[in-house]
A and B are shown apart, each in its own frame.
Chain A
C-alpha cells in the first residue's frame, strides 16, 4: 500500500495517471468507514486534503463554482449559504459537526450514494461536474455523472475537481426525512428551488431512485400555478397536486432503511411542505 499526498492539482493528476485504480481520499468520512470495518483494503491511496486549489469557490452572476474539496461546514454558512440556500440546508443535515468539518462536496459525488445529502439539491440547481486528468478537463451534467447507485462516470485517472450550480433569484428549501434528526442517512430528501427571473420551479429528489431525480411534470405545474407577479403564497389545492406529481416522479425501492411505499408517501409530504415554506 502507498499513500500519496500531492500538494497541487497537477501533482494529483500525475499521481492519478500513474495509479489509475488508487482510492481517492478527501474527507475520509466514507472511505475510512470501509477501511476500518475491513470492507475495503486499499492498495494505493491518493490523499487530496493538501490541495488548496480544490478548496476554493467562486460566486458568479449566473453560476457558482465550488471546489471538490470544499467541506459541508463551509457550504453551510457564509457567502455560499447565501448564494445557494438549499445546498446550505442540505449541508447542515450531513452527519455531525465532526463529519461536516471533514466531508467534502466532491466526496459526496464520488461516493455517489442515492442518499447523498447534496445530490438532490445539485440536481435541482442544474449541477455540472468538472473532472480533471492529465489529458485535460471535461464538464458533464450531474445526470450523466450519476449512472447508478454508487456508480459514477468518473474514469480511472480522473479527479472530481469542481461542481458548478445555478445561482438563482428566489426562495429555496431542502427537506430531509430520517429516523432521527441528527447523524442520520436520509430515507427521502426533497429540494425545491424557485427562480423568479425565469419564473420556474425545480425539484430534486434523493434516496428515492438509483440516482438523484427531477420531477419535470411537478415543476411545470408549479411554474404555471404560481402567481409570479403578485402574491406568491400557494393554496392547499396547489400543494396537494404538486405533492401528487412529485410523488409520481419518485422511483423508490424497499431496502433496510425503509419501504418503497413509505418513501413514495413521504416524498409527497416533503414536497408539499417545501413548496409551502418557499411560498408561505
Chain B
C-alpha cells in the first residue's frame, strides 16, 4: 500500500489540500514544505525550542509534535495569520521597537506565544510572562529585549482597549 495520501487541513481559515503527503509527516513539515508557510521554524523537532509554535483549536502547541494527518478538521493558525501581508501585528511592532530580534529564528514562535499570552492574560506580570515564554528558546538576545517587547505590546494593547485586535 502506498504511504502517499491526500487530506485537507484548515489553515488560517482556508481549506488547504495536502497532496501526496507521507503519513508520518509533522504539521510543521507540512506547513513549510507542502503548503508554503515558512513562518514556523524548524529547529529541534522535539518540542524543546518553541520555534515552530502555532495555534491548533486555540491552543498554543509545537507544530513539530502534531501529526499532520491527525489535524484534519482542526483550526490551525500560524504566524502568517496575525497580520495582513506586509503589515505588522502590535506584537511584531513591539519586537521591532524593542530591538527584540537578533538572528530572528526564534521570533515567529515567540510572537505566536506572546499573542496567545496577551489574549488570555493581558495584564500578565513579569514572572507570568517568563513562565509563559519558557517554551521558546532564544540563543541570541538573553531575553531582556524580548521581555521589554512584551511589556510594550501589553501596554499598547491596554491603551488601545481592543480585545480582538490581531
Query: Which of A's residues lie within 8 Å of B, judged by CB?
Result: 1-3, 5, 25, 27-29, 31-33, 35-37, 41-42, 45, 47, 49-50, 73, 95-99, 101-102, 181-183
Contacts and interface: CB of A to CB of B under 8 A. Distances in A.
Contact of A29 (B47, B70, B132): B47
B137 to A, nearest CB: 8
Contacts of A28: 65-67, 70
Interface residues of B, number: 30
A19 to B, nearest CB: 14
A32 B24 CA distance: 9
B119 interface: no
A47 B60 contact: no
B40 to A, nearest CB: 12
B135 A45 contact: no
Interface of B: 3, 22-24, 26, 45-48, 50, 53, 59-62, 64-67, 69-70, 72-73, 113, 131-132, 134-137
30 contacts: A1-B22, A3-B70, A5-B70, A25-B67, A27-B65, A28-B65, A28-B66, A28-B70, A29-B65, A32-B26, A32-B47, A32-B65, A32-B67, A33-B46, A33-B47, A36-B64, A37-B46, A42-B24, A45-B23, A45-B67, A96-B135, A97-B60, A98-B53, A98-B60, A98-B61, A99-B135, A101-B59, A102-B66, A182-B131, A183-B135
Nearest to A7: B73
Nearest to A181: B134
Contact of B65 (A2, A3, A50, A102): A102
Given A37-B45, A45-B70, A183-B48, A1 B65 contact: no
Contacts of A42: 24
B47 A95 contact: yes
Contact of B70 (A47, A73, A95): A47
5 closest Cβ contacts across the A-B interface?
A: A96-B135, A182-B134, A47-B70, A36-B45, A101-B59
Contacts of B73: 50
A45 B111 CA distance: 32
Contacts of A45: 23, 67, 70
B72 A5 contact: yes
A5 B69 CA distance: 9
A36 B135 contact: no
Contacts of A101: 59-61
Contact of B132 (A31, A95, A97, A183): A97
Which of A25, A41, A97 has the most B CB atoms < 10 Å from its CB?
A97
A25 B67 CA distance: 9
A35 B136 CA distance: 22
Contact of B47 (A2, A25, A99): A99
Contacts of A27: 65
Contacts of B113: 97-98
A42 to B, nearest CB: 7
B65 A96 contact: no
Contacts of B50: 96, 98
